[in-house]
Amino acid sequence: MKVVDVRHLRVELIDTGTAIVDDVSFAVNEGEILGIVGESGSGKTTAALCLMGYTRAGARIAGGEILVDGRDVTTLEGAALQAFRGKVVAYVPQDPSAALNPRMRIGEQVAEALRAHEPKLSRGEISRRITEAFADVSLPADRGFLRRFPFELSGGQKQRVCIATVFLLRPRVVVLDEPTTGLDVVTQSTVLETTARLCRTHRVAALYVSHDLAVVSNLADKTMVMKNGRIVEEGAPRQLFHAPRHDYTRALVAATPHIDGPLARVAGDIQANEPKPVLSIRDVAASHGDFQVLHSISFDVMPGECLALVGESGSGKTTLSRLLIGLHRSATGTISFQGENLAFDARQRSEAQKRRMQYIFQSPYGALNNRHTIADIIATPLRLFENGPSAELHAKVKRAMDAVSLPAKAADRYPSDLSGGERQRVAIARALVLKPDMLICDEITSALDVSVQASIVSLLQEVQRTENLAMVFVTHNLALVRSIAHRTAVLQYGRLVELGETGQVIDRPGNDYTRKLVEHSPRFVEAA
């Protein structure tokens, strides 16, 4: 039975009348999951949220019909719309930390949602319903757990609380907006499995919005791909991902890193006859206060080599990368860089050491000062280390911008004028302008869309080849590792559990933890 039927939906900006979603039609049956795939700005979230009669400020639903259970959502207003949201169409947000009230205990929050829609429920009934819903998502519903605050839960637990809250009200339709983006692979796969099971058993129609094709291919019964507010292709995931008809879908599929894909020929050659490692870490341990984050880590990085550091959140991989660049000071052990000892504190490192090792941050949004122009930002390290004439400085900035394919006219812009991918290119240009020997990249693609991610990775590969850079590439995405790293190191709870050639680590993991990571990495569904 058709629960959702959307016809010729159009959403436009009130000011300019520009369409952000145009002529979008889709239908979802009971117990069915529709995946909506697209990049940021494709209108996928906007289209999905219309089911709740919601548009963000400054936009409005300008045309089309949205029928949910036979009712036209666009005609609902006030109290009727309020009762409709949550009870008929419910929403699971992208970031569970932002969705839960940090000052309210879990139990109260969940009960609040239930009471808002069913005020006559008795206390006993409420707790029975909560216990049921929590059991559905494999969370304990004992008093101790319900009395916890959101900050006492892990990211995966928080997201499961959100999902439990949503299914508690037994809605007809659930809209899930990239609910696993912030989670690591193992947690992600349990959350996805839970969602799919609940939709089937409760006969709920679901819309799953995501930029991750592999995730959608596993979960959805049918999929539509959106671009610039329009549907470019729709169909069964199997057909869509194995025989895409539209060029855009084809490009998206190609851009998605593939854990089972052929081992990409990794750029750059490790000089086999070069016996000396560029970076050598011996017995390094680090702590945050009393908590020990890293235990006795030792490895080498050869000139021109890319070493991937892989692990779940909390494995200590970011601490390790910050330690390398001198931002984490409470550590023991030795690091040597190009044969010289490297201090843990950046302030105690020599100028040459600071020049030759550069760092790229995870988020391109926080890494650039919004008050400086792009040219200024890229010139910052040059001004600090080389006091050359300004013509020379400009030439170097220009060359660095060319190397990362930033248009010359971006020089006078500010970071807020650029997209995430462009900002990350600026960060890379800033790191490369000094011609370093070693680059440390901390999850630099995780905040970016799949296609942008692909372009950033290929940029890095190219740079690595031309500049013969040694690189430490920190990521939680095993599939990505395949296309960039010569060797892969796997971290678990601050210990190095496996280190070897990338192909070997992924295809023949020698460790249970690595095997678990590989198994839970999202894959495209098998071709029929």
Partner 1 sequence: MSEGILVSQPVPASGETRRLNPVVRLLGRTLTVRRGQIGLALLALAVVAAVAGPHLAPFGVDDFVGAPFQPPDGSSLFGTDNLGRDVFSRALAGGGGLLWMSAGATLIAMVFGTAIGLIAGQSRGRLDGLLMRAMDVILAFPERVLVLLCVAIAGAGGLLLMVSVGLVFMPAIARASRAVTLDVAHKEFVQYAEAIGMPRRQILMREILPNILTPLMVEAGFRLTWAMGLIAGINFLGFGVQPPTADWGMMINENRDGLLFQPWAVGLPIICIGFVIFGANLLADAVARAAARIEG
Could you tell me which stretch among 20-28, 35-43, 109-117, 306-314 binds partner 1 (CB under 8 A)? Answer: 35-43
* 352 interacts with partner 1 by CB under 8 A: no
Taking residues 114 to 153 in sequence order and writing x for each that binds partner 1 by CB under 8 A, - otherwise, the string is ----------------------------------------
CA distance 463 to 467: 6
CA quadruple 191, 194, 198, 204: dihedral sign: positive
b/e for 446-474, b at 16 or more Cβ within 10 A? bbbbbbbbbbbbebbbebbeebebbbbbb
- What minimum distance in Å lies between the beta carbon of 233 and partner 1? 13
Binding residue for partner 1, selected from 29, 287, 455, 511, defined by CB under 8 A: 455
- The interface region with partner 1, picked from 79-87, 90-98, 364-372, 387-395 by CB under 8 A, is 364-372
Query: Which of 175-183, 256-264, 357-365, 473-481 is the region at the interface with partner 1 (rule: CB under 8 A)?
Result: 357-365
Cα–Cα nearest to 90, from 158, 163, 31, 29: 163
Task: Kindly tell me the burial class for residue 420, based on how many C-beta atoms sit within 10 Å of its own C-beta (0-12, 13-18, 19 or more).
Answer: middle
Q: Does residue 212 belong to the site contacting partner 1 (CB under 8 A)?
A: no
Nearer to partner 1, 290 or 351 (CB): 351
Q: Which is nearer to partner 1, 255 or 485 (CB)?
A: 255
Among 381, 494, 509, 522, binds partner 1 (CB under 8 A): 381
Q: Which of 204, 397, 454, 489 forms a contact with partner 1 (CB under 8 A)?
A: 454
In the DSSP assignment, the letter for residue 433 is: T
By CB under 8 A, name the one of 31, 41, 93, 503 that touches partner 1. 41
Q: Which of 330, 336, 451, 468 binds partner 1 (CB under 8 A)?
A: 451
Please select the residue that binds partner 1; options are 260, 283, 340, 417, rule is CB under 8 A: 417
Cβ–Cβ under 8 Å, residues 236 and 63: no
Query: Given the complex with partner 1, which of 76 and 357 has the nearer CB atom?
Result: 357
132 or 412: CB nearest partner 1: 412
For position 418 contacting partner 1 by CB under 8 A, the verdict is yes
Figure out which of the listed residues 91, 337, 361, 513 binds partner 1, where binding follows CB under 8 A. Answer: 361
- Does 402 interact with partner 1 (rule: CB under 8 A)? no
What whole-number distance in Å separates Cα of residue 9 and Cα of residue 315? 44
* 396 scored as a contact of partner 1 (CB under 8 A): no
**Residues 324/337, Cβ–Cβ less than 8 Å:** no
Cβ contacts of 226 within 8 Å, gap of 6 or more:
24, 36, 37, 38, 42, 43, 44, 47, 232
Q: In the set 53, 64, 303, 421, which binds partner 1 (CB under 8 A)? A: 421
Residues 57-76 that bind partner 1 (CB under 8 A): none
Q: Find all residues with CB under 8 Å of 404, minimum gap 6, and list them.
A: 425, 426, 428, 429, 432, 459, 463
**Is 519 one of the binding residues for partner 1 (CB under 8 A)?**
no
Cα–Cα distances in Å, from 211 out to 37, 39, 225, 410, 426?
Answer: 5, 6, 10, 27, 23
410 forms part of the interface with partner 1 (CB under 8 A)? yes
Instruction: Using the structure block, give the residue that is written with the tokens 């709920």.
Output: 204
Helix (H, G, I), strand (E, B) or coil at 212: coil
* Contact between 490 and 311 (Cβ < 8 Å): yes
**Least distance between partner 1 and beta carbon 9 (Å):** 20
| Among 169, 172, 174, 168, residue whose Cα is nearest residue 209 | 174
Of 171, 167, 157, 166, the residue nearest 93 (C-alpha)? 166
| 312 within 8 A of 155, measured Cβ to Cβ | no
Q: Among 81, 251, 264, 285, which residue sits at the site for partner 1 (rule: CB under 8 A)?
A: 251
Q: Is 248 in the site for partner 1 (CB under 8 A)?
A: yes
- Determine, following the binding rule CB under 8 A, whether residue 186 of this chain makes contact with partner 1: no
Residues 6+ apart with CB under 8 A from 467: 432, 435
The CB-of-240 to partner 1 minimum distance in angstroms stands at 17
Nearest alpha carbon to residue 156 among 193, 128, 104, 121: 193
Stretch that binds partner 1, among 37-45, 212-220, 263-271, 294-302 (CB under 8 A): 37-45
Residue numbers of the site for partner 1 (CB under 8 A)? 39-42, 227, 247-248, 251-252, 255, 325-327, 346-347, 349, 351, 354-355, 358-359, 361-363, 366-372, 380-381, 384-385, 407, 409-410, 412-414, 417-422, 430, 449, 451-452, 454-455
